[in-house]
Amino acid sequence: MALGEFELIDRFFRACGAPRADVVLGVGDDGALLRPPSGADLVAVSDTLVEGVHFPAGSPAESIGHRALAVNLSDIAAMGATPRWVLLSLTLPRVEEAWLAGFARGFGALARAHGVALVGGDTTRGPMTIGVQVLGTVPAGEGLRRSGGRPGDALFVTGTPGDAAAGLGLIMAASDTATGEAVARRTAAGLRSDASADALEALRQRFLFPTPRIAEGEALRGLASACIDISDGLVGDLGKLATASACAAVLDVEALPRSAALAAVTPEAALRFMLDGGDDYELLLAVPPAQVARVASMPGLTRIGELRDASTAAPVTLRRRAADGTLSETPATGAGFDHFAG
Amino acid sequence: MALGEFELIDRFFRACGAPRADVVLGVGDDGALLRPPSGADLVAVSDTLVEGVHFPAGSPAESIGHRALAVNLSDIAAMGATPRWVLLSLTLPRVEEAWLAGFARGFGALARAHGVALVGGDTTRGPMTIGVQVLGTVPAGEGLRRSGGRPGDALFVTGTPGDAAAGLGLIMAASDTATGEAVARRTAAGLRSDASADALEALRQRFLFPTPRIAEGEALRGLASACIDISDGLVGDLGKLATASACAAVLDVEALPRSAALAAVTPEAALRFMLDGGDDYELLLAVPPAQVARVASMPGLTRIGELRDASTAAPVTLRRRAADGTLSETPATGAGFDHFAG
């Protein structure tokens, strides 16, 4: 059954998002008409997912729909904003109703959970590319930036970074179990032979269905001096925050929050995933000394280091405590994920 | 020379658009912070261009940059809105500085001509796909829609529809001149043997560098009862306006504005391009009787028909006047361009 472009949009996406009173005119015209609240700054974010680059070919459609929206909601969260409206540009090689239904289910459930209305976009034939733009608002002047950190600010992170990268490693390793290459991949994923099935599934779910930290971002307005989301890896994104803030950063390796599920991989792999694994979409933030106690009391946030003067050579330094209590520092080498590098 | 993603964005796009005082924070953070004027509705549009679908492979990079923004500005114009900010999501198979420079030149010149600031987006490796979103504003409640037309409203169009489709036909025919297929394509393009080089170039330019009708759209606020841009062909898009307005439409074939350049193709081909050719990005609008005189006095607008009661069978009827003055009516069959049809 070959549905046309317009019927496709109608059928799967017209009722996909949340209803909102501030949508004057939604999908179906040349553009959407939206009514922002007075006294607000608009926050606009845009992120594109390409099959084989941002997710493995053959990923579940529901996960692709969820992730396409989640990575954008995470950017909204990093600005301390409240999401309102989303546009979806779907480029697909062919029409598959089951795939579209799954995609719309994943995308729609997350949109409705955050009260986000789907107000426009387009559908085109081509290699699978999913472009999403989310519009949100913050009270004027209160948007969080990467650049506000100062030496002496404490660093906090939400959740448990590393899980999503471990989950992606497991998914890639499992994608071709019959060959020697798969064994090599499993080794690269650092899988322990005694890992529990529950832990493995928890890690996979963290990659397939990441949680954007909207409520945390909103709560941090007026408290955090700088904020960024961890999409490209903790060290790489911390380097960006530190550089934008004209600071250096030091990370206490033993302080990094570690999920129980991450015990499914070797300690070496776990550390690598925590420091350099992308796809977590947790928030990383700097907090001035006067606000540290208040932020430390919030659930789900862990203090992991501090900003200091930029005079040190590396943007990010790893600080470790030996068994005898001695502190040692080494420059971190992770540089984040660059789609055109190499 | 392999530039990284971030350097790419910096180098070609940071100064690409117009500076604007209402950009609180532009490219370089997780999102842009924008300050809309009070009492305005926001207009959000999104259109994606895929190589080989929306433009021939190997099109000039400057044209691709221009068109990617122009098709979105045209949607803004169709809403009667003023464009302010743009986001660009560029997916490219490889890094080519000359291509990027050309793309940024075409995109940037049009952005600056309309005072639009480039405030965000992303760059990813993958099959060439260009996603653009433009945000604009209209005074609250004054956005133009497709659905406001009433029986008795006059129909007007800007510019001279058909030129872009004729230009695309010429470009496609010229792309492979050595083969029999190219001859077949040239015949399909309806090229006359005595066509002037100037006319052919004018038609090509109309495809490569379409003009979004921003000033016309703004001037039509409060005058037009309904508006749509002609991206998929005059008959197809008129059908959408008529259907959204719960009307039928009649088009006076002899009244259609025809460029001098369109004489480069046969009369049969010219009519086909005018009625069914896409890519024009002219505005098509309905005007209540009380406003007709005022709209008719505007430069660049031509009256081409009227809306009437929806009781006739076809959404769009073609009306022709024979040499003896007799009027005849036939249902139009064009249905617009559906990317998933066939």
Give first-to-last CA distance, chain A, whole Å: 43
Measure the CA–CA gap between A167 and A205, rounded to whole angstroms.
Answer: 7
Q: Which two tokens stand for residue A263?
A: 């015990």
Measure the CA–CA gap between B322 and B166, rounded to whole angstroms.
Answer: 26
Sort B56 into a burial class: Cβ within 10 Å, 0-12 / 13-18 / 19+: middle
Q: Are A147 and A226 in contact (CB under 8 A)?
A: yes
Strands B226-230 and B40-50: unpaired
Cα–Cα distances in angstroms (integers) from residue B117 to residues A26, A84, A88, B26, B135, in the given order: 24, 22, 21, 8, 10
Q: What is the pLDDT of residue B95?
A: 80
A144 confidence band (pLDDT: 50, 70, 90): very high
Asked if B135 lies within 8 A of A42 by C-beta distance, the reply is: yes
Measure the CA–CA gap between A32 and A182, rounded to whole angstroms.
Answer: 47
Q: How far is CA B142 from the centre of its chain?
A: 22
The model's pLDDT over A322-331, given as tens digits with 9 standing for 90+, comes to 889 899 999 9
Measure the CA–CA gap between B277 and B162, rounded to whole angstroms.
Answer: 6
Higher pLDDT, A9 or A66: A66
Shortest CA distance from A52: residue in chain B = B126
Q: What is the pLDDT of residue A4?
A: 62
Task: Confirm or reject contact between B95 and chain A (CB < 8 A).
Answer: yes
- DSSP assignment string, A81-121: -EEEEEEEEEEESS--HHHHHHHHHHHHHHHHHTT-EEEEE
Q: Which two tokens stand for residue A301?
A: 């946030």
Q: Count other Cβ atoms within 10 Å, centred on residue B198.
A: 11
Closest C-alpha among A336, A278, A342 to residue A49: A278
The model's pLDDT over A268-281, given as tens digits with 9 standing for 90+, comes to 999 999 999 889 99
Residues of chain B where predicted confidence (pLDDT) is lower than 50: 1-3, 335-342
Give the strands of the sheet with A32-34, arranged side by side. A23-25, A32-34, B40-50, B129-139, B82-92, B117-125
What does the mean pLDDT of chain A come to? 90
Q: Are A236 and A334 in contact (CB under 8 A)?
A: yes
Tell me which H or E stretch contains A239. Answer: helix A234-244
Shortest CA distance from A226: residue in chain B = B29
Measure the CA–CA gap between B112 and B16, rounded to whole angstroms.
Answer: 8
Q: Which two tokens stand for residue B288?
A: 């209540």
The model's pLDDT over A271-312, given as tens digits with 9 standing for 90+, comes to 999 999 889 999 999 999 999 999 999 999 999 999 999 977
Q: What is the pLDDT of residue A243?
A: 96
Asked if A41 lies within 8 A of B31 by C-beta distance, the reply is: no
Measure the CA–CA gap between A124 and A75, rounded to whole angstroms.
Answer: 25
Q: What is the pLDDT of residue B2?
A: 43
Asked if B4 lies within 8 A of A127 by C-beta distance, the reply is: no
- Determine the residue among B29, B145, B221 to mutate to test chain A binding: the one whose Cβ has the most chain A Cβ atoms within 10 Å: B29
Q: Whole-prediction pTM value?
A: 0.91
| Percentage above 70 pLDDT, chain A | 91
Q: What is the pLDDT of residue A337?
A: 44
The model's pLDDT over B211-252, given as tens digits with 9 standing for 90+, comes to 999 999 999 999 999 999 999 899 999 999 999 999 999 999
Distance from CA of A131 to the nearest CA of B (A): 7
Q: What is the pLDDT of residue A335?
A: 46
Q: What is the pLDDT of residue A2?
A: 43
